[in-house]
Every structure is written in C-alpha cells, then in structure tokens.
C-alpha cells in the first residue's frame, strides 16, 4: 500500500528467483498515479521493478482496496505511506489495520 516511487517493489523483487520462487507476484496500490509516472521518468533506477511482468500497479485508495479485498489472500503486506495527517490519515486507523489483518493469510507478515 503506497510506495508509488517503486522502491519497495524493487527491493521485494530481489527475493524473486526462478529457482526459489519466494516472490511470485507483487501488487502495489498507490493513490497518486503521477508519483508512479514521475518516478518511472525521473528515477528509473528506483522504479525499474514496475517493468517486471509479475508486478501489478493500481492507482487507487489503499484503504478502499484493503476493505474490498477477499479474506486471507496475502502472505506479506507492506505499508509505505506518508505522514499520518492529510490524505493518508485513514492508513493509520484501527479500521484499516483490522482489514489488513483480515486479508493476511495465517502466518503472514505486515
């Protein structure tokens, strides 16, 4: 959730390999598509992971995405947000984290 600059995606993909298959897919949801586009344009060394076919980037509200997601589907959820005041404030509330735990598989990591 968040991370539109692509830095987290790049780092997660370091754990993807044909042999081990640790990372099979990466989903990113960021509210600001301009961040994703500008990062690709100006910081390609950070945003390089967006080109990987196992990556899906969605522009949208992370809290709404988590609320709509089915139960127990994610092994790892990384929340890379800005500060708790302003547009990202909902990503710091109890309701958001209740839904994060709901969509996390047993034994998963936040």
Q: What pTM was computed for the model?
A: 0.90
107 has pLDDT over 80: yes
CATH classification for the domain delimited by 7-109, as one of 3.20.20.70, 1.10.10.10, 3.40.50.150, 1.20.1740.10: 3.40.50.150
Instruction: Provide the Cα torsion 9, 11, 15, 18; round to 10°.
Output: 60
21 has pLDDT over 90: no
pLDDT (average), residues 74-103: 92
CA distance 53 to 25: 9
Q: Where are the alpha helices (DSSP H) in 14-59?
A: 33-42, 44-47
Active site amino acids = 80
Confidence grade of residue 70 (pLDDT, cut at 50, 70, 90): very high
């Amino acid at each position: 959730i968040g991370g539109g600059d692509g830095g987290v995606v790049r780092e997660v993909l370091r754990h993807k390999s044909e042999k081990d298959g640790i990372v099979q897919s990466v989903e990113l949801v960021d509210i600001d598509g301009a961040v994703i586009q500008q990062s690709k344009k100006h910081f390609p060394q950070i945003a390089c992971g967006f080109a990987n076919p196992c990556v899906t980037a969605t522009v949208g509200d992370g809290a709404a995405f988590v609320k709509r997601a089915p139960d127990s589907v994610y092994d790892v959820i990384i929340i890379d947000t800005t500060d708790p005041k302003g547009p990202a404030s909902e990503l710091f509330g109890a309701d958001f984290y209740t839904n994060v735990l709901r969509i996390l598989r047993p034994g998963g990591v936040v």
